[in-house]
Copies of this chain bind each other. A is one copy, B any other.
Amino acid sequence: MKKLNVANYLLENKIKPSYQRKRIYEYLLEHRNHPNVNVIYDALIDEIPSLSKTTIYNTLKLFVQKNIVEEITIEGNEIRYDLYNPNSHGHFRCDICKNIYDIDLDEEKKDEIADLKGFKVQKAYYHFKGVCKECLEKQKKKT
């Protein structure tokens, strides 16, 4: 049932649903943890031993072009990925555990926050860094 849905969804977006593409999309669907290419690779390599990182790069680039996935560049050295999410939201990166969390944004304030006179804005990103709840609690316990 689920596999059928993903295949259809890809087809609707003019993407041929190869096995690799389906599994990569399903990974993103089931793990909303903003993975990078290595995380996806490690997760799928046992199941698809022939899988190469090139294919993951190719696939994600295709997904981004077709607007069903978006890139998150919250860290300087790597690109992370998530399903395309039309609801505006921000990202919080924990300095300790490196996890990235989705953050709800106030729709109105978001649009009024910046004075972008003359510039044509296509995308807006709201990134926060600090320490997440879990890591804060772990720190407390140590003391």
For the complex, count residues of A whose C-beta is within 8 A of B: 40
In the assembled complex, the Cα of A79 lies from the Cα of B74 at a distance in Å of 11
Residue from B79, B104, B112 in contact with A109 in the complex, judged by beta carbons closer than 8 Å: B112
Taken together, the copies of this chain in the complex come to: 2
Q: Is A32 an interface residue (CB 8 A)?
A: no
Contact between B132 and A119, CB atoms less than 8 A apart: yes
- Chief secondary structure at chain A's binding surface: strand
A121-138: CB near B (< 8 Å → 1, else 0) gives 111111111111100100
Q: 4 smallest A-B Cβ distances: which pairs?
A: A118-B133, A122-B130, A73-B76, A125-B127
| A interface residue numbers (CB < 8 A to B) | 71, 73-76, 78-79, 90, 92, 94-95, 101, 103-106, 109-110, 112-116, 118-133, 136
Q: Give 11 A-B contacts (CB < 8 Å), ordered by A residue.
A: A71-B76, A76-B79, A95-B122, A103-B115, A103-B116, A105-B114, A113-B126, A119-B132, A120-B130, A122-B131, A127-B127
